Amino acid sequence: MSRLSLNAHLGWILLIVSFAGGIALDPWSLGERDPAKIVGSTRMVLRHAQAVGVGMGVLQLLVAQLLTLSGVAGRVRAGVSWITAAGAVLYALGHSIRALEPGAAWLVPVGAVLNLSGFLTLLVVLLRRGDDVVASLLVGVLALGMSIDCVMGLFAANAATFLPQYLGAEDGVQLRMLRLARAAAIALSTLCLLFRALPDPATSGPLERRAQAGFAIGMTGMPIVLTAAAFVWIHFKWLLGIPALSVFGGVCVAVWLSRRRAPALEEFGWLVIAISMGVGLLIGMYAFDGPLPSPVGEYNDYPRRLSRLGHSYAIVLGLICIFASRKQATVRATRFLVAGTVVTAAAIFLLAVSGSTSGILLVGPTIMTIGMVLAYLSGERNPKAAASSAQPTSISDSPGHHHQGE
């Protein structure tokens, strides 16, 4: 475990704490089925806070791998590492505490500004070096996501002053687009970076190169189109199919490559993400008022809330499995992570199609929390593997069988 960087330690801790909180939060927040009692409620504020904790955890694991693979060293590396770590903590704390103390919401834009400054610093270094266009693009997308976080943080801190009326209500289409844009900036950038360790540069062919282009188009296009639709012209939303299909194609290639070039846990993670993205393509047909009518009711209706939860959980659970696999997770950790993923999805499905109590939702996060704790400790139990996986390589030359320690 000592081989992990500051950002990797923080990433795993944020994920563990967030999922541990979900053991109680998931049944409680989904215990209310009346949509009229959901908007602006404490349940939804805490639900969002948990999602933010998970997002910041994934972001910190991404930062750890990005700093290793980019080859940035010295004061720049240390500065970006500490600044983004502080930003993640303040951002997550602000969202968590504001349910009890509204003034704490000002921590949200402060944390977002710190994250933004860290990624802009890294972007300047990569642009000056000029040896990896995709890496620069990836960091640029993360900077865009943090810029959206800054704006949304101001909305959370003082909506009366900073939130433009034309963006509509909290559960309106435009603010939903902005929330998805900042989440997509993190999730799709993470997928793009993780994919780069799968193909072997010595044997990569047209399929691998097209998949990498698909990830680049998806991670860039999705947040840009969503942001433009929210702020400029709502009908830009009709372009969302291009980045969505592009990244889905890339993930399908990743599933195929992982069968030959990655451990079973990583293959499982890519497969879960592919299934979730396939479902996401269907959700996208009605998510932002068309083109098709919603088969699961309005935005805050119970079935639709469950469908969003299942889709977002699957993406995160798949990412956790991939990160754990790259960290050389033990067999026991692997079993818990696979079981937790399956049980979480099954519980959400059962709740959606039956009259089951929301208490069944606590089982999945419990198993996942145990699995993540075991995965987090795996480096300490297997120091030789951790040392091997921690050796840095260039972001543009990541061999398929050499997984980087995050």
> What pLDDT score does 385 carry?
38
Asked if 146 and 109 count as a contact pair (C-beta separation under 8 A), the reply is no
> What pLDDT score does 389 carry?
40
> What pLDDT score does 402 carry?
35
> What pLDDT score does 290 carry?
80
> What pLDDT score does 96 carry?
94
> What pLDDT score does 220 carry?
97
> What pLDDT score does 202 carry?
59
Asked if 193 and 66 count as a contact pair (C-beta separation under 8 A), the reply is yes
Domains and CATH numbers, the chain: 6-389 (1.20.210.10)
* Rounded distance between C-alpha atoms, residue 357 and residue 211, angstroms: 42
> What pLDDT score does 73 carry?
87
* Rounded distance between C-alpha atoms, residue 96 and residue 46, angstroms: 6
H helices present in 98-196, as ranges: 107-129, 133-157, 159-162, 173-195
Please report, in tens digits, the pLDDT of each residue of the chain (406 residues total).
Answer: 447 899 999 999 999 999 999 999 999 999 988 888 888 788 888 999 999 999 999 999 999 999 998 888 899 999 999 999 999 999 999 999 998 898 999 999 999 999 999 999 999 999 999 888 989 999 999 999 999 999 999 998 999 999 999 999 888 999 999 999 999 999 999 999 999 888 776 567 899 999 999 999 999 999 999 999 999 999 999 999 999 999 999 999 999 999 988 999 999 999 999 999 999 999 999 999 888 999 989 998 999 999 999 999 999 999 999 999 999 999 999 999 999 999 999 999 999 888 789 999 999 999 999 999 999 998 643 333 333 343 334 454 443 333 333 3
pTM summary value: 0.92
85: Cα within 13 Å, side-chain hemisphere: 17
**57: number of Cβ within 10 Å:** 27
* Rounded distance between C-alpha atoms, residue 389 and residue 404, angstroms: 5
